[in-house]
Copies of this chain bind each other. A is one copy, B any other.
């Protein structure tokens, strides 16, 4: 049988409330008493009953993490980071998979399971900006991603426009002028695709390179296969290009296979850069240049401000919009000057991992916009 406060109190010869006070570090406890209680706790290997505690206190010590699907690498790595960060803060994470389905996302916001968590970190995929009202919920909520802006909750996301511009500028600096895009969504203004495409266009404008719609490869989903398909269509269209900006790593890796299948060399014929800095991008052949969108930092920040909301005593302060820092990570797929092949082979032979070139300096730190 597992020990309770009552058992501890009996052994220590005090009331159960005193034991509770010791556990919760209340003031006004004689050191000798405290000592006896702690010994009794150790003797019985007592651990507080979490159900009773949360019934009494209204707190569960868990936070929810709602995301589309763990089998998408980006979200698996995000979940990993959130769990580790939550652990550092002493809370537990309950993961919910939505499948990116709008109805499930909405349902989950008022699911009875919300009782099990003190707050929610929510990365929607099906929700749109018009659905912002659904986010008015009675518990702390931190939004991730690019589906909803200006909602009623704290929002942690990445500098999509700036980062995409930096990625494009990086290609331009390597002398590339005809930069194809893989993963565009037609007509989208917000959402990852819309924002990243905007950054791409800003970079072109700044460099005086005309925007050519023929260079856009469209695809709704962002799986590896979609990147491959979009690239095949680009190749079939006959449009000329010397670089590819894939709107995420998975797409880009799919596109790279098709390029290589077609006999093109990366980076000599076509340089490629992705977005997300998946673990996988360090191991592809060639290794993939990409944007580190600050996933670790997003996870850490989301957990931190969620816990701030949970622990806040004063009533609601206005929602915050927080943008993570990003970095351009230069690897073999955009290596510049001759010898790229050499370098590739050398680094590969050593079994090393990682960043061939220097990273561009970060463009901005974490900043609260409001």
List residues of chain A with CB under 8 Å of any chain B CB.
47-52, 54-55, 60, 62, 69-71, 73, 76-77, 79-80, 83-84, 92-95, 97, 112-113, 115-116, 223-225, 228-229, 232, 254, 257-258, 260-261, 279-280, 282-285, 345, 348-349, 351, 353
Assembly CA distance A73 to B116 (angstroms): 28
Give the residues in chain B near A115, CB-CB below 8 Å.
Answer: 47, 49-51
CB distance A228 to B283 under 8 Å? yes
Assembly CA distance A116 to B55 (angstroms): 13
Q: Which residue of B93, B97, B228 is within 8 Å of A348 (Cβ)?
A: B228
CB distance A70 to B80 under 8 Å? yes
Give the residues in chain B near A351, CB-CB below 8 Å.
Answer: 225, 228-229, 232
Assembly CA distance A208 to B48 (angstroms): 62
Q: Which residue of B84, B93, B224 is within 8 Å of A283 (Cβ)?
A: B224
Give the residues in chain B near A282, CB-CB below 8 Å.
Answer: 225
**Known: A49-B55, A71-B279. Contact between A95 and B97, CB under 8 A?**
no
Q: Nearest-CB distance from A254 to chain B (Å)?
A: 6
Q: Nearest-CB distance from A255 to chain B (Å)?
A: 11
Specify the chain B residue showing the minimal Cβ separation from A345.
Answer: B261
**Known: A225-B283, A261-B345, A285-B260. Contact between A51 and B47, CB under 8 A?**
no
